[in-house]
């Protein structure tokens, strides 16, 4: 036989990077199954990571099925957009429509994206040159602060960042960690008296006509003012229109279930397949994860600060904590605020107010992603 043993026995070709990534993939699978941390995503991502790092397996190499999925779904930006149709069909925007002012909290909570972008760029090509972060990489890292997986994938892919895999894993991991990241910041910024502040309930319901007009108007306003956000906001609002119009229940249910589930499986395993050891294990990856936490934290700080301003201007009718829900990590962020409100005052139910800010944050993060895509190419 001419073929050397090392050419067909995978374990003889194991490198330390491959071993490390197999362990990381295993940890992601363990987190998903044993700790129930975003299992819907971390399980496929972890498994994809294992598949991609088996030597000689070829799953993530040219022609391999993970490489084909990456080409077809990530590079074309199809997967995040399809996911957004499902998300749009799942979201009830009524809490936001009852409190439209919460959109400003969503806007404020995007500050972390831009501040983190600046920080990443200063560490990279912008000033210190200690890390290999170009303007596009910095913008893609900043977008982790959108607290929105599909937006992170869309922006990082469109800007062709070298760190797309790390950015996506960080975005989804930190969304699951919102109950750990946000409470200390909120408690540090809001006194117990502020946390106990009850908000008046909102009178009246939203008509179905308003719910139907809302996605159409949102697409027109956002699309005409920030056109780069059109694919994202368009898919999100299309899904929502399917939900609210009341005449295509089958399509709405398909978008919420089959479509979202199938694309989640494909997206997760493909993202995992992008975690090849030689590309993933570099100092910059660790920095991407650190900057991701910075982005989430600054989002929370900015949201709460605007919440405090609204609290003062409204004569204490707005609990400043709901500002923290301006990040689009829905519904984790709302639950955090509800829990903190009840801890401070057992009769303080903030869930629907917080949900209003939370779904507003979903729209705001998409707009911020579109704005980033619009501005970065102008300054390259």
Residue 218 engages other proteins in binding (rule: CB under 8 A): yes
Binding piece for other proteins, criterion CB under 8 A, among 54-62, 157-165, 219-227, 239-247? 219-227
Q: Kindly write out the interface string for residues 226-255 of this chain, putting x where it contacts other proteins by CB under 8 A and - elsewhere.
A: x-----------------------------
Closer Cβ to other proteins, 16 or 127, answer by number: 127
Q: Which is nearer to other proteins, 189 or 226 (CB)?
A: 226
State yes or no: residue 342 binds other proteins (CB under 8 A): no
154 makes contact with other proteins (CB under 8 A):
no
Interface with other proteins, residue 90, by CB under 8 A: no
Task: Identify the residue among 139, 153, 155, 287 touching other proteins (CB under 8 A).
Answer: 139
> Which residues 97-116 are close enough to bind other proteins by CB under 8 A?
97, 100-101, 103-104, 106-107, 110-111, 113-115
Residue 236 buriedness (CB in 10 A; 0-12 / 13-18 / 19+)? buried
Q: How many residues bind other proteins (CB under 8 A)?
A: 45
CB of 1: closest distance to other proteins in angstroms? Answer: 58
When binding is defined by CB under 8 A, the residue of 210, 230, 254, 345 that contacts other proteins is 210
Map the footprint of other proteins across residues 347-376, applying CB under 8 A.
Answer: 363-364, 367-368, 371-372, 374-376
222 touches other proteins (CB under 8 A): yes
Question: 106 vs 183, which CB is nearer to other proteins?
Answer: 106
- For the chain, give the secondary structure using H, E and C: CCCCHHHCCHHHHCCHHHHHHHHHHHHHHHHHHHCCCCHHHHHHHHHHHHHHCCCCCCCCCCCCHHHHHHHHHHCCCHHHHHHHHHHHHHCCCHHHHHCCCHHHHHHHCCHHHHHHHHHHHHHCCCCCCCCCCCHHHHHHHHHHHHCCHHHHHHHHHHCCCCCHHHHHHHHHHHHHCHHHHHHHHHHHHCCHHHHCCCCCCCCCCCCHHHHHHHHHHHHHHHHHHCHHHHHHHHHHHHHHHHHHHCCCHHHHHHHHHHHHHHHHHHHHHHHHHCCCHHHHCCHHHHHHHHHHHHHHHHHHHHHHHHHHHHHHHCCCCCCHHHHHHHCCCCCHHHHHHHHHHHHHCCCCCCHHHHHHHHHHHHHHHHHHHHHHHHHHHHHC
Task: List the one residue from 121, 174, 296, 330 that touches other proteins (CB under 8 A).
Answer: 121
Q: Residue 265 or residue 371: which is nearer to other proteins going by CB?
A: 371
Instruction: Based on the shown chain and the rule CB under 8 A, indicate whether residue 126 belongs to the binding site for other proteins.
Output: yes
Residues at the contact surface with other proteins, assessed by CB under 8 A: 97, 100-101, 103-104, 106-107, 110-111, 113-115, 117-118, 121-122, 126-127, 135, 138-139, 204-207, 209-210, 213-214, 217-218, 221-222, 225-226, 363-364, 367-368, 371-372, 374-376, 379
């Amino acid at each position: 036989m001419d073929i050397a043993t090392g050419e067909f026995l995978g374990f003889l070709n194991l490198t330390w990077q491959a071993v490390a990534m197999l362990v990381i993939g295993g940890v992601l699978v363990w987190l998903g199954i044993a700790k129930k941390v975003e299992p819907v995503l971390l399980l496929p991502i972890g498994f994809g990571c294992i598949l991609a790092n088996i030597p000689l397996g070829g799953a993530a190499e040219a022609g391999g099925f993970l490489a084909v999925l990456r080409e077809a779904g990530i590079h074309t930006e199809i997967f995040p957009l399809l996911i957004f149709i499902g998300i749009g069909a799942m979201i009830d925007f009524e809490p936001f429509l009852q409190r439209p002012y919460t959109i400003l909290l969503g806007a404020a909570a995007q500050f972390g994206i831009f501040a983190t972008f600046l920080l990443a760029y200063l560490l990279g090509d912008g000033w210190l040159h200690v890390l290999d972060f170009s303007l596009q990489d910095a913008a893609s890292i900043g977008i982790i602060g959108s607290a929105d997986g599909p937006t992170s994938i869309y922006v990082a892919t469109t800007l062709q960042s070298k760190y797309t895999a790390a950015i996506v894993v960080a975005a989804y991991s930190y969304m699951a960690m919102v109950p750990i990241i946000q409470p200390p910041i909120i408690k540090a910024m809001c006194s117990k008296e502020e946390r106990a502040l009850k908000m008046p309930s909102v009178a009246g319901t939203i008509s179905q006509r308003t719910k139907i007009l809302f996605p159409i108007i949102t697409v027109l306003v956002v699309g005409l003012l920030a056109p780069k956000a059109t694919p994202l906001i368009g898919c999100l609002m299309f899904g929502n229109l399917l939900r609210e119009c009341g005449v295509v229940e089958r399509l709405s249910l398909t978008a919420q279930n089959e479509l979202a589930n199938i694309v989640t499986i494909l997206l997760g395993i493909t993202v995992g397949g992008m975690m090849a050891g030689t590309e993933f294990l570099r100092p910059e990856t660790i920095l991407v994860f650190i900057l991701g936490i910075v982005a989430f934290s600054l989002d929370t700080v900015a949201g709460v600060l605007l919440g405090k301003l609204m609290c003062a201007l409204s004569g204490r009718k707005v609990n400043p904590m709901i500002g923290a829900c301006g990040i689009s990590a829905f519904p984790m962020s709302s639950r955090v605020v509800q829990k903190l409100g009840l801890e401070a005052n057992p009769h303080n139910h903030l869930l629907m107010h917080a949900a209003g800010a939370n779904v507003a944050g979903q729209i705001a993060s998409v707009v911020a992603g579109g704005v980033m895509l619009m501005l970065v190419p102008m300054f390259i």
